[in-house]
Amino acid sequence: MSHQEHRAASPTHIRCYVLTVSDTRTDENDTGGRLLRELLAGDGHEVLGHAIVPDEPATLRGAIEQQLDAEAVQAVITTGGTGISRRDGSYEVVSALFDKRIDGFGELFRTLSFEEIGPSAMLSRACAGTARGKILISLPGSKNAVRLGMSRLVLPELGHLVREVTR
């Protein structure tokens, strides 16, 4: 099958769970997480739930694993904690859960980000992969990064990703 045929045969309604990783965000100021949920819903996907979790490795891992174990969830998307500061630990936690890495996601995200913000794009550790038969994606926390990653990468391929991981 061609990639067009794969995409045409893919589900268009994916059940997702969103986690915002932050020590400072609240429901009131979680603009990246809110935008992520709005973009998913606007594209016809179902957001089964969302939570804000602190950038603590054990807490984040537990929150992700809980959703990976939830039968209804097909994709877990995190936002935040992808930088290189001392407290940024999303990459280490998320990548340790991967069964298979989707290396092209991070490469493409940084390329697209470079076009918008220049060389500081190299500081992003956005990543994606498969985990326990589901899609696991980690995006930066800013609204601009969420919009870029979702509109250019995640939304166009989410159904295809889920189709492939469940075959």
Q: Which tens digit of pLDDT belongs to each residue from 130-139? A: 999 999 999 9
| Domain boundary assignment for the chain | 12-165
pLDDT higher than 90, residue 60 = yes
Predicted local distance difference test score (pLDDT) of residue 25 = 93
Per the prediction, the chain carries an average pLDDT of: 96
Predicted local distance difference test score (pLDDT) of residue 130 = 98
- 159 vs 2, more confident: 159
Predicted local distance difference test score (pLDDT) of residue 4 = 80
Span 12-165 CATH architecture: 3-Layer(aba) Sandwich (3.40)
Predicted local distance difference test score (pLDDT) of residue 70 = 98
Q: What is the DSSP string of the chain?
A: --HHHHHHTS-S--EEEEEEE-SS--TTT-HHHHHHHHHHHHTT-EEEEEEEE-S-HHHHHHHHHHHHH-TT--EEEEES--SSSTT--HHHHHHHH-SEE-HHHHHHHHHHHHHHHGGGGGG---EEEEETTEEEEEE-SSHHHHHHHIIIIIHHHHHHHHHHHT-
pLDDT higher than 80, residue 1 = no
Predicted local distance difference test score (pLDDT) of residue 5 = 82
Whole-prediction pTM: 0.96
Q: In the structure, what pLDDT confidence band is assigned to residue 41 with cuts at 50, 70 and 90?
A: very high
Across 109-129, average pLDDT: 97
pLDDT higher than 90, residue 103 = yes
